[in-house]
Structure 1
């Protein structure tokens, strides 16, 4: 992972974006060679086994501009769409399942004056057994580390129709469970019965805050907490805190019964989970439309759900997984793919929440580095396999396109020579195959700052190099100023040593200040037409003008 202009994988970029995200003009669909248009998208998947049975809708935006919108429907799914009017699909309700978990956590975050993130759940659901739940915090429930199991009574084979314990070699015991919540559409447990389940020792969460374990019952508890602090039903809390403020007029928890307005199973043989979820509403009960889900996803990316700092805190990972490319948030499923068609190979954070139950599958996706928002919904007997194909098929080319546009715009906006003949100062910026921008020359008052600063950081190189990376998202672009940071490259041996410990770029910034001002910070000044006119070097108290 040592530096090399010919192999970008040998750089150690700092955390965060490599370049500013691109701006994109309003277009209906991306070019065919970058992202498939409607007809080729269909052609690509017509041979797949899931295609004949699956209705799906995809929308994507870059920087708030919708760049792709495509839908495909199968009348055999029970959906009624006028011939040729596929656009109607975007306004039809579908079950988004476990994406509901993100809505439930958002409601908790919007209730920070009423619910403390690090408080015990027993503070808000005092009927819970103190010994069993005193160490279970709101954060642990939201981040899948509470220790609670996936389900309560639901899916227990002793009460699930068609299940026979003896088929698994299990003994027949003289015990029974309450005849409630065994499956969606069955009798819903009363509040007393639900709390009795949580307070039964068999369901106690072992070792909270140990490792992530996917749990639906954790979010059901968060739903109870929300209902308790607002003194109203959970569904009403969600409507008032999220659906109405975000203009999600076609989202809620009531199961639709009209195929003219929703995607529903065509026959009883289609075993879709369309009945009411009852106590599992906080975990997966929302019905929404592709348009509403896309609007919510864009609002998340645009900091319209929470202030920027709170949004960034919410999107942080909370736990790691055995895979080097997956992390868990609250409740995010964060992927870090490296097989993307981008110039500078590095992990890109793809922050998602998925939903998947029989008959329905969905994804809400954001890629903060490129300001990408994506919503995908699918319905049908093979909705799950369809979503597994549609996710990478959408994300990968969209990131490649955004990366290409970002590099093109950076080339036009920043690259060039900034200088001052009076102070014998020069600052030359270039774009190559590495991350960020290459800083080719950095001299002030005749001093070769590249060499002097490298020496100050104990970087032993005869010809030290450095790169520029965007920083300070809150202030970037305000008053025509954009703050970037300089990171000096360091020699890395082999693959970076044990656990790539030599690539510790997060620990290499802001090592020298002068009278309180960091010397690795520069500010680009942007003109009225979006062009960069000059660069300010705050530590040296000087500005250099860009050559035409």
Structure 2
């Protein structure tokens, strides 16, 4: 019998941040210096603990505040093994332009959401693309043909459509960029093909003309599906090219014009373009254009991977997303949610987010961790690799842009250095901040014998160490707390401000078993081991005992707390 795989020891808290966001990033100066030194040392040795590093690949890396849009840390590397002409302005700055490959899918989806909204996600693609509607009418064989009536906008957006990956991009039968001669392909086991079976077009347009809409859509229709729709995520560049065609059908606006209007005109991201930049641009083009593929346009598949941008513009976009510039807060939160899982514990898929989970130690005594999610998108095209991510728990974003002989190989250790050092440093800083703002005793007024003492210990969140209500010890009260071991406060995203005071909704987390049974840490299916199942419990006249309101003054210091069910505001001594 196969053994049950042990799960990581994670804190049983609600998913999300466990402290208020950091207000003073200067406390992370040592972490910034540590990141810089780690990358300096790795480049000098051409090796770091995260992998090989290269002197032939330039890059720009950054961390920024999602709330303010300010830069928190940057690193730009002008690879010495590249010719000086690789840097069109002689050096790399936050304004230098790189290609970003498939991160374009995220800008494509943002354009869709701003222009058409998420309500369209349930529409079948046949509503927008008549060629698919015609193909669906003759659908018979599920192994050889896609049932287009089942493919929705949402399925395409979240890589759940089941359709193929590419059309004539990396196809051995066509002699486009990087492909071996057809004779070599045949010599290596593939059968000869008659020319009348091959569509002579490609995405780059370097040898054959770029594919027309008719050629492109017919190629997609003729390609067998990979999976049924909504079965499992499989990556598709075609999906995002299709979405752009659907956008044009719905709005009558050329998609590249819609993208440029949103990002350049409305967001002021002047380094961001759907096609190769024009004029005297600041760009990184390693060695030469035909080697790097800087100016090579991928035509109709552009909405899946053709965009250009800079470190500065990535920062502006992350800020715009997080501060709900064009989407409501609810729309933004929904967009950042995963749509499906993958076969890995640590990753899931959104529209088109690649969501990666990191375990951050929160209790060194019990060796427990919590989950921090990063909503990312990566991209590769030609000799360019890029990554972009939002980390709401920490209110930070990050980006990497690399190009040269080893763009993907350079990107990985740079990004890992940033995440490893900065995540752990900001977690500690947020905990220290909570210790300074919460620690103390809060008492009732007008003779009410009620009080609560709060502090920060080796565990997560803010611990309630003493709690008296109307003279009753709530922590040791067998009436309702017989098998509750400890109480901790964690923030939600509900807040408002009035008369200079910020009020935040907190949850008081405590796992309880109404039947008095023992807790089983090894039973990870048990509802008694997962707090989200028990939230908003132990009601008293329609208010929950675990629902607390915390009031902060203008300096971020806690001035009062209130358990809503107990209906008494306790003020700091």
Q: How far does residue 379 in structure 1 lie from its aligned partner after superposition?
A: 0.9
- Structure 1 Cα separation of the partners of residues 474 and 341 of structure 2: 40
| Correspondence 1:93-492 to 2 at 5 A | 93-112=97-116, 116-128=120-132, 129-130=135-136, 131=139, 132-160=147-175, 161-163=179-181, 164-174=184-194, 175-181=196-202, 183=204, 185-186=206-207, 187-200=209-222, 202-204=223-225, 206-256=227-277, 261-267=282-288, 270=291, 272=293, 274-338=295-359, 345-420=369-444, 422-452=447-477, 455-456=479-480, 460-461=482-483, 464-473=485-494, 475=496, 479-490=501-512
Distance 1:537 1:472 in 2: 17
SS state at 2:259 partner: helix
Shift of 1:475: 3.9
* CA distance 1:481–1:341, shift in 2 (3 Å): closer
Which segment drifts farther, 132-141 or 473-482? 473-482
Alpha-carbon distance in structure 2 between the residues aligned to 1:542 and 1:144: 50
SS in 1 for 2:321: helix
Which string of whole-angstrom CA distances, capped at 9 and with x for unpartnered residues, describes residues 500-537 of structure 1?
76522110111222232222111112223332111123
Does the C-alpha gap of structure 1 residues 269 and 198 become closer, same or farther in structure 2, counting only changes over 3 Å?
Answer: closer
CA drift of 1:360 comes to 0.5
Take 2:189 and 2:107, find their aligned partners in 1: how far apart are those partners?
40
What's the counterpart of residue 19 of structure 2?
19
Q: Residues 476 and 399 of structure 1: is their aligned pair in 2 closer, same or farther, counting only changes over 3 Å?
A: farther
The separation in 2 between residues aligned to 1:239 and 1:194, in whole angstroms, is: 24
Give the Cα–Cα distance (whole angstroms) in 2 for the partners of residues 54 and 211 of structure 1.
35
Alignment CA distance shift 1:420-1:37 (3 Å): same
Inter-CA distance 305–342: structure 2 relative to 1 (3 Å threshold):
farther
Is 1:509 matched with 2:513?
Answer: no
Paired with 1:50 and 1:168, the residues of 2 have a C-alpha distance of: 34
- Using the TM superposition, give the Cα deviation of residue 173 of structure 1 relative to its aligned residue in structure 2, in angstroms: 2.9
Quote how far apart the aligned CAs of 1:455 are. 4.8
TM-score, with structure 1 as normaliser: 0.89
Corresponding residue SS for 1:16: coil
Which residue, out of 521, 542, 545, partners 2:571? Answer: 545
Offset from partner CA, 1:33-65 (integer Å, 9 cap, x none)? 564364653223222254211111112124434
Distance 1:267 1:107 in 2: 32
- Return closer, same or farther for 1:505/1:287 CA change in 2, 3 Å cut-off: same
Task: Please give the secondary structure, in 1, of the residue aligned with 2:94.
Answer: helix
In structure 2, distance between residues paired with 1:500 and 1:167: 57
**Alpha-carbon separation, structure 2, partners of 1:189 and 1:82:** 34
2:74 aligned residue? 69
Deviation of residue 323 (structure 1)? 1.1
Provide structure 1 residue ranges, at least 5 long, that are not aligned to the other structure.
Answer: 1-7
Measure how far apart 1:238 and its partner are: 0.7
Q: How many residues align?
A: 530
With 358-367 and 123-132 compared, the bigger mean Cα shift is at 123-132
Cα deviation, 1:337-364, whole Å, max 9, x if unaligned, reads: 2266986622211111111123111111
Distance in 1, Cα, partners of 2:117 & 2:395: 30
- In 2 relative to 1, CA 119–269 (structure 1 residues): closer, same or farther, beyond 3 Å? closer
In 2, the alpha carbon distance for the partners of 1:430 and 1:499 equals: 31
Judging changes above 3 Å, is the alpha-carbon distance between structure 1 residues 170 and 518 closer, same or farther for their aligned structure 2 residues?
same
d(CA) in 1 for partners of 2:504, 2:119 = 37
Relative to 1, partners in 2 of residues 1:190 and 1:375: Cα closer, same or farther, differing over 3 Å? same
| More off after superposition, 166-175 vs 399-408 | 166-175
3-state SS of 1:369 partner: coil
Pairing of 1:17-56 with structure 2 (within 5 A): 17-25=17-25, 30-32=28-30, 35-36=33-34, 38=36, 41-48=39-46, 50-56=53-59
Deviation of 1:329 after TM superposition, in Å, equals 0.9
Q: How far apart, CA to CA, are the structure 1 residues paired with 2:417 and 2:250?
A: 42
Judged with a 3 Å threshold, the aligned counterparts in structure 2 of structure 1 residues 490 and 539 are, in CA distance, closer, same or farther, namely closer
Q: Distance in 2 between matches of 1:9 and 1:313?
A: 28
Residues 285-294 or 526-535, more deviating: 526-535
Cα distance in 2, alignment partners of residues 464 and 339 from structure 1: 23
Q: In 2 relative to 1, CA 22–244 (structure 1 residues): closer, same or farther, beyond 3 Å? A: same
Q: Shift of residue 204 of structure 1? A: 4.5
The corresponding residue for 2:551 is: 525
1:114-153 per-residue CA deviation (whole Å, 9 max, x = no partner) reads 9711111111112212343110011110100101111012
Deviation of the 1:369 alpha carbon: 0.6
Shift of 1:181: 1.6
**Higher mean displacement: 391-400 or 202-211:** 202-211
Matches of 1:370 and 1:147, distance apart in 2: 34
State the alpha-carbon separation in 2 of the partners of residues 350 and 541 from structure 1. Answer: 38
Q: Is the 8 A contact 1:96 1:287 kept in 2?
A: yes
- Maintained 8 Å contact 1:467/1:489: no
Structure 2 gap segments, 5+ residues each: 1-7, 47-51, 140-146
The superposition leaves residues 460-499 of structure 1 with CA deviations (integer Å, 9 ceiling, x where unpaired) of 42x6321111013354898521111111145875643155
Q: Which moved more, 1:490-499 or 1:520-529?
A: 490-499
